[in-house]
Amino acid sequence: MAFFNTHLDYVKYGPKLLLDGMPMQEVLASEDEVRTDSIRIQTPDMQELAAAGYPVFLTGDFNQPSSLDYAEETVGTRKGITEPVPWTVSEALFDVGMRDTFREIHTDAVENPGITKDNPDFRSGGFGDRIDYVYAGGPVTTLDSKLVGETGGPDVELEYDPWTSDHRAVLSTFEVTPVELPTTVSLDRRLLTEGEDLGVLFNAPSADNTIAVVPEDGTADGALASTTVGEQGTTTFSTADLEPSGYDIVMVDADGTEIGRNSFWVRSIKEDVTLSTDKSSYAVGEPITVSWDDGPANRWDWIGVYNADASNPKQDDYLLWGYTGGHEAGALPPTVFGEMTMGPDSQGKPWPLPPGDYHIHYLLADQYNSAGYIEVTVAK
């Protein structure tokens, strides 16, 4: 079976923009930029696998409602649903044959809205949306789907007290027939800290194969480590002698022909991220390009701009900010290097930055722990 999981960005929440009066086409364009472009990284693989006969599943927090919940029959039933809205993530998934399994079982969105996230928090009331999903594609039959959450929650069928998340969950049950594993070389994880072992699972059409660790986009001829394997099984590589960087795992057959490839990252055991900017001093309104290397590569690492005289992330407020992976941080493997430009399209405010001194921090895992900062000046 093929299993996908994702977490789409939460900024510029579409229903709020609609409530604030933004025209629908502008809202949908924003959704494309923030969330749908991210899901489209994954949909080609979903479509290809389902067409080849594999059961395909997708789960995640999409931070977007479904078109099935903003339809003609739901208009006026909840605040903010004033007209049908073709929410772009659900439409992109429907286009490749994926099915919303909660709505397969609970077809009436008026009778069972299935809200998974109230706005802003279901513990304090308020209106919300169904933004957490289990999708299925290919030869999969949905038998049941239930909402899981706090005791007494609307539409909650599986109740827990205490319920320890700010989202409710979806539990779907299926009937599937798994298919034969294709030629593959898969990894137990794609991000490791130097010194950790990398587990590799392989399945080949015949015996006498070699699996090698190579530099990113390299070939087996340039192997940094290799081992001979049979037709099916597991093997392990140590990363103790690998510098923090990106690498590929390559599987070749007895003739030296490549039959499988995957990629992984090794990050430094130290928080020794190197930050730089394209300049040290900027004019008012001039974009600031921030680069980093040897980063810890947590999926939700972020860059924050602070006033120099209020630059303690644990107690002071950030100004401009952005995830190191951008809006696609929930769909792409994290990397140890990258860059972003702080400018008029950045999250936060103000822009342009007024004259003054600033600290630009590399912050860890969607929290306020800094791994380092660089100083810049906006000149008068």
Q: With contact defined as beta carbons under 8 Å apart, do 207 and 257 qualify?
A: no
Render pLDDT for 169-183 as a digit per residue (tens, 0 to 9): 999 999 999 899 999
Which neighbouring-strand residues pair with 358? Answer: 307, 376
> Helices (H) and strands (E) in the chain — how many of each?
6, 26
The list of the chain residues with pLDDT below 50 reads: none
- What is the DSSP track for 21-50? T--HHHHHHHHIIIIIHHHTTTHHHHHHHH
Instruction: For 286-336, write each residue's pLDDT tens digit.
Output: 999 999 988 888 888 999 999 999 999 999 999 999 999 999 988 887 778
Q: What is the pTM of this model?
A: 0.86
Tokens of residue 167, six digits: 């989202």
Contact 160, 146 (CB under 8 A): no
| Three-state SS at 302 | strand
Which residues, other chains included, contact 326 with Cβ-Cβ below 8 Å and sequence gap of 6+?
340
Q: What is the set of domains in the chain, with CATH numbers?
A: 2-176 (no CATH), 184-267 (2.60.40.1930), 274-378 (2.60.40.1930)
Structure tokens at 51: 């067409």
pLDDT in tens, 247-275: 999 999 999 999 999 999 888 887 679 99
In what side-by-side order are the strands of the sheet with 158-160?
Answer: 158-160, 140-150, 169-176
Mean pLDDT, the chain, integer? 94
